[in-house]
Structure 1
Amino acid sequence: MTRHAIVDLPDEAATLALGERLGARLRSGDVLALVGDLGAGKTCLARGVARGLRVADPDAVASPTYLLVVEHDGPLPMIHADAYLPAKLKAFLDDGGAAWLLERGGVVVVEWADKVAALLPERRITVRLAPRSDGRPGRRAEIDGPDELDWLAHV
């Protein structure tokens, strides 16, 4: 069974705030899978997560598409990965990257996670970002996570 939450995000500030609330609750070993079309707000949400995790420079969080994986130092490090080019990420994981990620500790945030869902742990939090269906500006976040994370219902 999973927890489910829906959050309306009228603007970028709300997206950052949601990320910050999530980041403040995440623990070492957690995986946050971000799903959404180009421009949906995945990187903005990741920047908010970095703020919540209190990484050294959260405003430096950028889309890691061409870097693949970026580690952001902090009390609880954030490993920010991008699966836009899924073959590239799969090769990284197969060539020892999976072991490296486990050794790092911290929280792993994966953009375009739907492209590598089979490679991600079953226990993860998934955030799907999409335009609002009511025609109003902004986006909607649908969040699913393990049942034991009762705080998900209150993000």
Structure 2
Amino acid sequence: MTGLSTVFRHRSSSPEETQALAERIGRLCATGAVIALTGDLGSGKTAFVQGLARGMGVSAACPVTSPSYTLVNQYSGTGGQTLCHIDLYRLVHPDQIEDLGTDELMDGDHVTAIEWAHKFGPDLWKEDIDITLDIVEDTVRDICVAPRTAKGEALVEQLIQMNS
């Protein structure tokens, strides 16, 4: 963390609750936001991105799926915003990241959500927020939303206000 202190913690009891939290975050995301998602297999990272997309106005007719094999999916939301969903799970070496064209995908014209963002170590991305999903029980997740930039700090503070 870069000296930012505000952290939002939430215990989700279902995938739907995880998506509802992510939907609120999606409504708060400004174009150019970068979100790093970490958690074990089955922790709810893709479910989180589904809610994020809903909050950004991505049509329900456009299913948000894990890009495990395609590595990158893009979805058009309302107001000209685009959600770029990246999944690094199948990559084996950090050099492969360059082949994805992440420079263009994170050029400020998208909201970017990166699953397995810290697979090759911290600080590969200039993420605004880190979201960690920890499995507690079968459907229960502890979710931590931590800012890494001033933009991320503002988003987390807004999220806290929405939930108070």
**What is the TM-score with the length of structure 2 in the denominator?**
0.81
> 8 Å contact 2:22–2:51 — kept in the other structure?
yes
Match of 2:116 among 98, 104, 112: 112
- Cα distance change on mapping 1:13 and 1:58 into 2, 3 Å: farther
Deviation at 1:98, TM superposition (A): 2.7
Q: Which has the higher helix share?
A: 1
Identity %: 30
Matched, 1:28 2:35: no
The residue aligned with 1:151 is 158
Deviation at 1:23, TM superposition (A): 0.3
Deviation at 1:20, TM superposition (A): 0.3
In structure 2, runs of 5+ residues without a counterpart are none
Deviation at 1:87, TM superposition (A): 3.9
> 8 Å contact 1:82–1:89 — kept in the other structure?
no
- Cα distance change on mapping 1:63 and 1:33 into 2, 3 Å: same
What is the letter of the counterpart of residue 105 of structure 1? D
Matched, 1:7 2:10: yes
Deviation at 1:58, TM superposition (A): 6.8
- Cα distance change on mapping 1:111 and 1:58 into 2, 3 Å: farther
**What is the TM-score with the length of structure 1 in the denominator?**
0.85
Question: SS of the counterpart of 1:64?
Answer: coil
What is the letter of the counterpart of residue 123 of structure 2? A
Rounded to whole Å, the distance in 2 between the matches of 1:15 and 1:101 is 25
> 8 Å contact 2:24–2:159 — kept in the other structure?
no
Rounded to whole Å, the distance in 2 between the matches of 1:40 and 1:113 is 14
Deviations along 1:103-134, whole A, 9 cap, x unmatched? 5712000111121443211x4211100123xx
In structure 1, runs of 5+ residues without a counterpart are none
Deviations along 1:38-86, whole A, 9 cap, x unmatched? 0000000000000000013476111111000011112311000001123
What number of residue pairs does the alignment pair up? 151
Deviation at 1:99, TM superposition (A): 3.0
- Cα distance change on mapping 1:104 and 1:4 into 2, 3 Å: closer
